[in-house]
A and B are shown apart, each in its own frame.
Chain A
Amino acid sequence: MISRRDLLSLAGSASVAAALRSLEAFGQTAAPIKRVVLFFTPHGTVWDQWRPTGTSTAFTLPYILEPLKGFQQKLVVVDGMGIRAGGPGAPHTRGPAVLFTGSGLADDKTFARSDCSGGCNFGWNTSNSVDQEIAKRLGNVTPYKSLEFGVQSGGGFPGAYISYAAPAQPLPPKQDPYVAFQQLFGPLLEPAAQRARELTRRTDVLAVVKADLARLKPKVSKADVSRLESHTQAISELQQALQSSDLGCVPPTAPENRAQSTAGYRAWAIDRHSELLAASLACGLTRVGSLMFRPGENDGGQQGIYDFLGQTMEHHLTTHDTTAPAQQRLVEIYRWYASRFAYLLQQLDKFPEGDGTVLDHTLVVWGSEIGTGNTHSIDNIPFVLAGGGKAGVNTGRYFKYSPGIINSRLLVSLCHFMGFTDVNTFGLLDNGTGPMPGLLNGA
């Protein structure tokens, strides 16, 4: 058996990740480990610069997807898969929640504030997202059931989240790479004795918090009980997460502590998150992750979001401008998204695992809340999948579905990929059955 000390001394060698794999603390099974990652960027795409040309196995990536060329044999480009509307809410608000839950927003008027008209008659999500369903089914195999990262996402609206543990339980993503690093890998940098002492102490602190929740629960209004129950569950998961300090991971390079107001922060942060997410997956902190770049919401008034691309106008406003210069600006934004998606894939691909890499055992899904910005069309979402080629995914493909299919097929496929083949439908809007035709071997 390899000790933690041995592992740390191996830091930097190519065999580290493979060795860590065998140590994944809670997994006793010999079956290869599989993982899923969700990736989100807002406001669809510009289709004529996105849609590949050629056949399903020999195709050329156009301008927007060109940055992914190096990964073409590990990609699945999906054309003709939409999401369904159903239920209240405007497209940008509803889309991020529907994308991976396959369910509409609640009709409970949570957001119908007293002076709000039309688009505000909606509530939170009505079912969990696929990453969380998978996390739940995997159980406590890793310290973290899942890890969520985000850049300027999270907040008081469903449009700001893609991952949901349950109805009205959005998972706020980690926003600050420096903080995320401290949380995930900080304890590993401490001397062993201190690390052990802190593990006990933090466990004891959380036990007191849990006892407070238990004492309060019988006294509060019935309506408040479920909130305390969710809180109790959250504390249990935090206790589980503390075990990560015993895992013997090799921390990635620590990101610098950069203020969010720094120019170009978003472009910097998304890559740091990709590094942290990849390292977390590679060393077994979790098997489920998501990364959301900005909310689906209208970004009115927030200029300078794409200042690093030399663009002054809000993204959302630009999508409603059909003039050629504006469309060209959009194309540059979407191409930049593709380049950041490529960076995430690169990070996953640099960890060797089995007969391939971590990427080859991870199914990564890139989606958006709408297909086309100007029309808010949702019949076709620019989905790009990647990875999993050594774990049952038919990669290097360009799938064109005509007639189109809906995202629930993909969500079912993700469950099947992870071994949960009893799942046949996903989400309350699902009007079909089974996985995505052609994606998984034998499917």
Chain B
Amino acid sequence: MRKLSLGATLLAFAACTGEVIAPPPLPPVETGTGGGAPTEQTCTPGPTGVSPMVRLSREQVDHAATDLLQAAFVPSSALTADEKVGPFAANTSVQMTRSLAEQYQFVAEKLGAELEPRALAVAPCADQTNGASACAKAFVTRFGALAFRRPLEADEVTAYVGLFDKVKAASTYALGIRSMVEALLQSPSFLYRVELPPTPETTEAWAVDQYALATRLAYLLWNSAPDQALLDAAGRGALGTDEGLSTQLERMLADPRRQRAVTGFATAWAELEPLSTAATSPERLAGLDPALVPQMEDETVRFLSAALDDERPPMEALFTAQWTVASPALAKALYGVTAAPDAKGRLTLAGTDRAGVLTQAGVLFSHSHAQQTSPVLRGKWVRKVLFCQEVPDPPANVNATPPDPVPGQTTRERFSAHRTDPSCSGCHRLMDDIGFSLEGFDQHGVARTMEGTAPVDVRGSLIGTDVDGAYLGAAGLGTKLAASSSARLCFAKQWFRSGLSRPEAASETCLVKAMSKALENPKGYRALLDTLVHSQAFKERKAP
């Protein structure tokens, strides 16, 4: 079995950062499957990894505003960028400050102001003169449970109704309701995913309570808070059994909110964030219709969702699908595909060089420079996010600017310094040799066989993986990735990280391997989620 420890990974790549003369040792391979060894039998789960208390991500606050208040205001527009684990949002280490609390105050007040004119619709009250307090109590009991993702304690209800009474006495019912909502949305029980220990002194991992478990489930599957049905199930203790968890899993995967989790995962995983700035940069657009840019993101998000539900195993669908779900405008403008979509809404890519996510415009465009491709950015994404390998930043003192385009020269030729200069080649062959194979697509993701007057060479090669060797073009790379156990294990890890907002601990290798194994089969994504939600890691918390 070819398996190296994480420590070996660090050593191998650390060799890239200095004044490298000899190429660094090959990076290690971790595939999650052994040479015939029955991994699952020999694999017993170790201690649960440490989970810091998680503050909601910007997207999660956005979803709360939609679900709780049907708000038009988008909170993330006023919130600082999230901390991350890998490419995924995970606010776990920053301590609250006045300026951060002020952002939440601003969001709460915006949402409150929007709510005020509809207060009576949200918190109905037949008798505002004598029954206002009772109406407020009924409202905060129901609404507060959705905001806090658990029923409110009696003293909490008293405190919130007290606020209502005071505000109403000085002004109106609506302002009283609004004030309660503003306080709820700034409360630690809303902003943090609080998972209380049996006692504050508890140092061992403990099984989180049913409401906390429901909350984990909801953020994993919906990237948003539990709905009333899930809270009710938690209240009945129905999540305490495997059947109960499975029932909720099935129900929640059938809910449209499932798309939120897939969208959040897809945009982070495919690193589509640069698209938002690219859409307004004349240099990056360079003639591209800006309306196509959001459609690029939409394609990859919808594609990931469809690929996960495909009849083929997810990794095959993701990297070799000869279909896409691009908008007709995008398909026509960038892919030259004009055929109508089939009954499933899929456009065939047969007869083109395109296959899978690697050849989608959003991925290609966001991993390019203005007016030229970037074999480095493309290769780095494949190494980092698809193989879960780390590639260090370039050492100081090197010219890392891509050379200006030269007529008659291909990008591959212009990047030759990376191959000839020994201080570059050690790391760059890890990235560039992958990126070169995607040169059949320009910076906007349009297929090409020529760069100016020079023919494009799409030969690529992989080293340091379990699928090493030469291949041809994006389709060749896709075939390699689809067959790679290492890439599959990485994909499983990425779901673990995005779902639990923390990296997997070494002691949880067993679980990510089981999740990876689930991906071998059609509908493997569901099996992966099933494995995860029934795991000890999912049900337990260990405080830092």
Q: Which of A98-148 contact B (CB under 8 A)?
A: 110, 113-119, 123-124, 144-145, 148
Q: A168 to B101, Cβ gap below 8 A?
A: no
- Minimum distance in angstroms from A84 CB to a CB of chain B: 17
The 8 Å CB contact of A172, one of B53, B100, B278, B389, is: B100
Q: Which of B286-332 contact A (CB under 8 A)?
A: none
Complex: chain A residue closest to B377, CB-CB: A301
Q: B543 to A221, Cβ gap below 8 A?
A: yes
Residues in B with CB closer than 8 Å to A238 are 98, 101-102, 105
Q: How far is the CA of A323 from the CA of B170 in the complex (A)?
A: 69
Pick the interface stretch among B253-261, B348-356, B366-374, B407-415. B366-374
Residues in A with CB closer than 8 Å to B271 are 301
Q: How far is the CA of A175 from the CA of B182 in the complex (A)?
A: 22
The 8 Å CB contact of B280, one of A160, A224, A304, is: A304
B160 at the interface (CB under 8 A from A): yes
Q: A119 to B283, Cβ gap below 8 A?
A: no
Complex: chain B residue closest to A237, CB-CB: B98
Q: B397 to A154, Cβ gap below 8 A?
A: no
Q: Which of B99-114 contact A (CB under 8 A)?
A: 99-103, 105-106, 109
Residues in B with CB closer than 8 Å to A220 are 53, 194, 196-197, 200
Residues in A with CB closer than 8 Å to B228 are none
Q: How far is the CA of A156 from the CA of B196 in the complex (A)?
A: 25
- Minimum distance in angstroms from B81 CB to a CB of chain A: 4
The 8 Å CB contact of B277, one of A170, A218, A241, A302, is: A302
A313 at the interface (CB under 8 A from B): yes
B274 at the interface (CB under 8 A from A): yes
Q: Which of B161-196 contact A (CB under 8 A)?
A: 162-163, 166-167, 170-171, 175, 179, 182-183, 186-189, 192, 194, 196
Residues in B with CB closer than 8 Å to A218 are 200
Given A168-B93, A215-B155, is A320 in contact with B394 using a C-beta cutoff of 8 Å?
yes
A49 at the interface (CB under 8 A from B): no
B452 at the interface (CB under 8 A from A): no
A174 at the interface (CB under 8 A from B): yes
B82 at the interface (CB under 8 A from A): yes
Q: B100 to A234, Cβ gap below 8 A?
A: yes
Residues in A with CB closer than 8 Å to B42 are none
Q: How far is the CA of A323 from the CA of B403 in the complex (A)?
A: 10
- Minimum distance in angstroms from B439 CB to a CB of chain A: 18
Residues in B with CB closer than 8 Å to A237 are 98, 101
Pick the interface stretch among B9-17, B243-251, B476-484. B9-17
B83 at the interface (CB under 8 A from A): yes
Complex: chain A residue closest to B175, CB-CB: A201
Given A156-B84, A172-B99, A313-B401, is A201 in contact with B94 using a C-beta cutoff of 8 Å?
no
Q: How far is the CA of A222 from the CA of B402 in the complex (A)?
A: 50
Q: A230 to B183, Cβ gap below 8 A?
A: no
- Minimum distance in angstroms from B56 CB to a CB of chain A: 14
Q: B399 to A322, Cβ gap below 8 A?
A: yes
Q: A320 to B97, Cβ gap below 8 A?
A: no
- For chain B, which range describes its interface: under 10, 10 to 19, 20 to 34, or 35 or more residues? 35 or more
Residues in B with CB closer than 8 Å to A301 are 271, 274, 366-367, 374, 377
Residues in B with CB closer than 8 Å to A148 are 99
B37 at the interface (CB under 8 A from A): no
Given A234-B97, A238-B98, is A376 in contact with B78 using a C-beta cutoff of 8 Å?
no
Residues in A with CB closer than 8 Å to B493 are 114-115
B388-429: CB near A (< 8 Å → 1, else 0) gives: 111011101111111000000000000000000000000000
B241 at the interface (CB under 8 A from A): no
Complex: chain B residue closest to A377, CB-CB: B396
Residues in A with CB closer than 8 Å to B274 are 301-303
Q: Which of B480-521 contact A (CB under 8 A)?
A: 493, 497, 503-505
Q: How far is the CA of A376 from the CA of B395 in the complex (A)?
A: 9
The 8 Å CB contact of B170, one of A155, A197, A316, is: A197
Given A117-B9, A208-B163, A261-B280, is A227 in contact with B80 using a C-beta cutoff of 8 Å?
no
Complex: chain A residue closest to B53, CB-CB: A224
Residues in B with CB closer than 8 Å to A234 are 96-98, 100-101
A212 at the interface (CB under 8 A from B): yes
A312 at the interface (CB under 8 A from B): yes
Q: How far is the CA of A232 from the CA of B181 in the complex (A)?
A: 19
Q: How far is the CA of A172 from the CA of B104 in the complex (A)?
A: 12
Given A115-B503, A179-B106, is A205 in contact with B10 using a C-beta cutoff of 8 Å?
no
B35 at the interface (CB under 8 A from A): no
Count contacts between A and B, CB distance < 8 Å: 262
Given A301-B377, A323-B399, is A215 in contact with B281 using a C-beta cutoff of 8 Å?
no
The 8 Å CB contact of B17, one of A118, A205, A231, A375, is: A118
Q: Please give the number of chain A residues whose Cβ is less than 8 angstroms from any Cβ of chain B in the complex.
A: 93
A213 at the interface (CB under 8 A from B): yes
Given A303-B370, A376-B396, is A221 in contact with B200 using a C-beta cutoff of 8 Å?
yes
- Minimum distance in angstroms from A112 CB to a CB of chain B: 9
Q: B200 to A222, Cβ gap below 8 A?
A: yes
Q: A303 to B10, Cβ gap below 8 A?
A: no
- Minimum distance in angstroms from A118 CB to a CB of chain B: 5
B41 at the interface (CB under 8 A from A): no
Given A91-B396, A238-B102, A317-B400, is A118 in contact with B10 using a C-beta cutoff of 8 Å?
yes
Q: How far is the CA of A219 from the CA of B201 in the complex (A)?
A: 10
Q: B544 to A223, Cβ gap below 8 A?
A: yes
Complex: chain A residue closest to B11, CB-CB: A117
A252-280: CB near B (< 8 Å → 1, else 0) gives: 00000000111100000000000000000
- Minimum distance in angstroms from A90 CB to a CB of chain B: 7
A308-327: CB near B (< 8 Å → 1, else 0) gives: 00001110111011110010
A159-178: CB near B (< 8 Å → 1, else 0) gives: 01000011011111111100
Q: B390 to A116, Cβ gap below 8 A?
A: yes
A423 at the interface (CB under 8 A from B): no
Q: A221 to B202, Cβ gap below 8 A?
A: yes
Q: Which of A3-58 contact B (CB under 8 A)?
A: none
Residues in B with CB closer than 8 Å to A260 are 77
- Minimum distance in angstroms from B59 CB to a CB of chain A: 14
The 8 Å CB contact of A115, one of B86, B202, B402, is: B86
Residues in B with CB closer than 8 Å to A155 are 80-83
A428 at the interface (CB under 8 A from B): no
Most chain A CB within 10 A, of B52, B99, B192, B201, is at B99
B71-82: CB near A (< 8 Å → 1, else 0) gives: 000000110111
- Minimum distance in angstroms from A246 CB to a CB of chain B: 17
Q: Which of A180-237 contact B (CB under 8 A)?
A: 182-183, 197, 200-202, 204-209, 211-213, 215-216, 218-228, 230-231, 233-235, 237
Question: Interface on B for A, CB 8 Å cutoff?
Answer: 6, 9-10, 13-14, 17, 52-53, 77-78, 80-86, 91, 93-103, 105-106, 109, 153, 155-156, 159-160, 162-163, 166-167, 170-171, 175, 179, 182-183, 186-189, 192, 194, 196-197, 200-202, 271, 274, 276-284, 366-367, 369-371, 374, 377, 384, 388-390, 392-394, 396-402, 493, 497, 503-505, 543-544
Question: Interface on A for B, CB 8 Å cutoff?
Answer: 90-91, 110, 113-119, 123-124, 144-145, 148, 154-157, 160, 165-166, 168-176, 179, 182-183, 197, 200-202, 204-209, 211-213, 215-216, 218-228, 230-231, 233-235, 237-238, 241, 260-263, 298, 300-304, 307, 312-314, 316-318, 320-323, 326, 374-376
Given contacts A216-B189, A222-B543, could you give 13 more A-B pairs where the C-beta distance is less than 8 Å? A155-B82, A156-B82, A176-B77, A209-B187, A224-B53, A234-B101, A261-B280, A301-B271, A301-B367, A304-B282, A321-B400, A323-B399, A374-B399
| 6 pairs from A and B in contact (CB 8 Å cutoff) | A114-B505, A124-B93, A220-B196, A227-B53, A304-B282, A320-B399
Query: 3 smallest A-B Cβ distances: which pairs?
Result: A304-B281, A156-B83, A114-B503
